[in-house]
C-alpha cells in the first residue's frame, strides 16, 4: 500500500511569518515549514500543484509561483513532465533562507528594497566609471528588448536583463551575486509589479535615461536617475507584495 502524500497546512506556519504576505508567499512559507520536517527526504517528489492548491485552499498560480521562488533559492528542483523534487542542498540552504525570512514576509520588504537601492546605485556608479563598448552594447540590447515587449508579459524578463547587464558592467562579482540573491528573494512578487503598458513605458524611459548618462560618463546624473528609478520601482513592488 502506497504511503499517502504528506499534507501541508497553513496552520503549521507561524502567523508572524505570513502576516502581510501574498498567497504565494504564504504557500512558500507552508512548504518550507513542511520541508524542514521529517516528512520529506532528499530527492523525494513533492505533491502535485493541484494537490497542494487543494490542501492549502489557494489557486494553482500561487503554488506555481511559490515553487518557482523555492527553485530559484535552490531548495527544490522542478523537472518538466516529472514533478518537483527536494534538492540535496536543502539542509544548507534552509537555515539561511528561514533566517532572512524576507521572501515570505511582505512586512520585511522595505528592508530588502533599501538594500537593493544601495547596491543598484553603487553598481551604476562603478559601471559608469568602467563603461566600455561591450557594456553599452549589452545595455542597449536590453533596452531594445524592453521596447519590443511593451505591454507583454515578456517585458519583465527584458527589464531584468537591463539590470543584470548593468551589474555586469560594474565588473564586481560579489556585487552582482548580491543583487542576484535579492532578485531571487523578490521574484515571488516581481512578476506582478509591472501591470500595464504605461508602467512598462515608465520603466523603459527611466532605463534609457540612466544609460544616456552612463554613456556620457556622467556618474552623478546616472546615480540620481537610478535613485529616481528605484522610487517608482519600489512603489510598484510594495503594492504587489501587499496587494
Ranges of CATH 1.10.10.10 domains, the chain: 10-100
pLDDT at 224: 99
pLDDT at 36: 66
Domain 10-100 has CATH 1.10.10.10: yes
* Euclidean distance between CA atoms 181 and 41, whole angstroms: 26
Could you tell me the pLDDT band of residue 3, with boundaries at 50, 70 and 90?
A: very low
Q: What is the tens place of the pLDDT at every residue in 49-107?
A: 888 788 777 788 878 888 887 787 678 889 988 999 988 655 555 555 554 555 556 66
Q: What is the tens place of the pLDDT at every residue in 169-209?
A: 999 999 999 998 888 777 666 665 666 889 999 999 999 99
pLDDT at 69: 74
Fold of 109-242: 1.20.120
Whole-structure pTM over 0.85, yes or no?
A: no
* Euclidean distance between CA atoms 174 and 168, whole angstroms: 11
Ranges of CATH 1.20.120.530 domains, the chain: 109-242
Amino acid at each position: 500500500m502506497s504511503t499517502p502524500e504528506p499534507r501541508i497546512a497553513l496552520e503549521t506556519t507561524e502567523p508572524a511569518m505570513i502576516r502581510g504576505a501574498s498567497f504565494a508567499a504564504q504557500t512558500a512559507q507552508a512548504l518550507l515549514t513542511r520541508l524542514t520536517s521529517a516528512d520529506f527526504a532528499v530527492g523525494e517528489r513533492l505533491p502535485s500543484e493541484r494537490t497542494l492548491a487543494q490542501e492549502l485552499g489557494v489557486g494553482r498560480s500561487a503554488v506555481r509561483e511559490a515553487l518557482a521562488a523555492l527553485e530559484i533559492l535552490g531548495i527544490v528542483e522542478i523537472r518538466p513532465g516529472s514533478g518537483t523534487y527536494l534538492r540535496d542542498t536543502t539542509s544548507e540552504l534552509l537555515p539561511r533562507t528561514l533566517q532572512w525570512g524576507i521572501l515570505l514576509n511582505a512586512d520585511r520588504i522595505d528592508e530588502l528594497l533599501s538594500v537593493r537601492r544601495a547596491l543598484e546605485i553603487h553598481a551604476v556608479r562603478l559601471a559608469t566609471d568602467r563603461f566600455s563598448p561591450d557594456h553599452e552594447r549589452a545595455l542597449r540590447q536590453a533596452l531594445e528588448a524592453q521596447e519590443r515587449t511593451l505591454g507583454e508579459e515578456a517585458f519583465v524578463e527584458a527589464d531584468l536583463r537591463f539590470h543584470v547587464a548593468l551589474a555586469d558592467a560594474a565588473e564586481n562579482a560579489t556585487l552582482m551575486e548580491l543583487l542576484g540573491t535579492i532578485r531571487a528573494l523578490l521574484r515571488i512578487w516581481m512578476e506582478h509589479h509591472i501591470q500595464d503598458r504605461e508602467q512598462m513605458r515608465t520603466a523603459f524611459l527611466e532605463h534609457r535615461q540612466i544609460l544616456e548618462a552612463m554613456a556620457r560618463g556622467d556618474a552623478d546624473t546616472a546615480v540620481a536617475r537610478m535613485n529616481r528609478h528605484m522610487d517608482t520601482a519600489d512603489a510598484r513592488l510594495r503594492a504587489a507584495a501587499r496587494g
